């Protein structure tokens, strides 16, 4: 019995349209992440890896949607193919089965290296843009999640013994952000 065709889609931000990536591609199930490709710690990617079975085909629009890091890309492709799962990259027209030719492995490495290079260029341009904006006085960083009054209330309640997880939920912040507010002194 042939396996399922499983789609994987990743967009970097919530305002991007994920539908275009596998438009007109027949799949039985799609996993969609709205997260950066900087690493493989993505909930839908992890769900796909747990879901996929031997004989399945994982279909991804392009290599940079699966990983922006050559090591991660190779590791994911090898992990899937070792389990008998075929992987297809639509844009590049490449298919990997685990019994790939040296040319296919070269193309995986070259295309993966370009994705990694592109991510490095994006980070470099971002750093340059921030540095220029700081010089102009136009960059002040991310807006604080809480007002000074809310921070004072948060610290007072935490000192009084209120549960930190409950405080984080009430203030609409992560626990890590809560701990950062508790650590910093104004």
Indicate which residue of 12, 13, 36, 147 is catalytic.
12
CA nearest 108: which of 54, 55, 82, 69?
Answer: 69
**pTM for the predicted model, two decimal places:** 0.67
- DSSP character string of 99-152: S--HHHHHHHHHHHHHHHHHHHHHHHHHHHHHHHHHHHT----SPPSS-HHHHH
Three-class DSSP category at 45: helix
d(CA 142, CA 156): 24
> Could you read off the pLDDT of 26-36 as tens digits, one per residue?
999 999 998 88
Q: Where do the domains of the chain lie? A: 5-114, 148-183
5-114 belongs to CATH 3.40.50.1390? yes
Task: Respond yes or no: is residue 12 known to be catalytic.
Answer: yes
The whole-number average pLDDT for the span 67-94 is 92
- How high is the pLDDT of residue 157? 93
- How high is the pLDDT of residue 100? 77
Q: 7 to each of 131, 150, 157, 159, 165, how far by Cα in Å?
A: 39, 43, 46, 48, 35
The whole-number average pLDDT for the span 136-156 is 86
């Amino acid at each position: 019995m042939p396996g399922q065709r499983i789609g994987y889609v990743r967009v970097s931000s919530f305002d991007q349209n994920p539908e275009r990536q596998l438009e007109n591609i027949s799949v039985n199930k799609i996993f969609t992440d709205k997260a950066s490709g900087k690493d493989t710690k993505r909930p839908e990617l992890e769900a796909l890896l747990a879901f996929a079975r031997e004989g399945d085909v994982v279909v991804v629009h392009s290599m940079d949607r699966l990983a922006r890091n050559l090591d991660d890309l190779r590791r994911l492709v090898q992990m899937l193919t070792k389990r008998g799962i075929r992987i297809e990259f639509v844009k590049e027209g490449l298919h990997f089965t685990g019994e790939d030719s040296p040319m296919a492995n070269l193309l995986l490495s070259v295309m993966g290296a370009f994705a990694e290079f592109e991510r490095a260029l994006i980070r470099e341009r971002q750093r340059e843009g921030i540095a220029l904006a700081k010089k102009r006085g136009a960059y002040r960083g991310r807006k604080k999640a809480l007002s000074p009054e809310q921070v004072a209330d948060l610290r007072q309640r935490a000192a009084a013994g209120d549960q930190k997880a409950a405080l984080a939920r009430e203030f609409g912040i992560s626990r890590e952000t809560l701990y950062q507010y508790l650590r910093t002194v104004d």
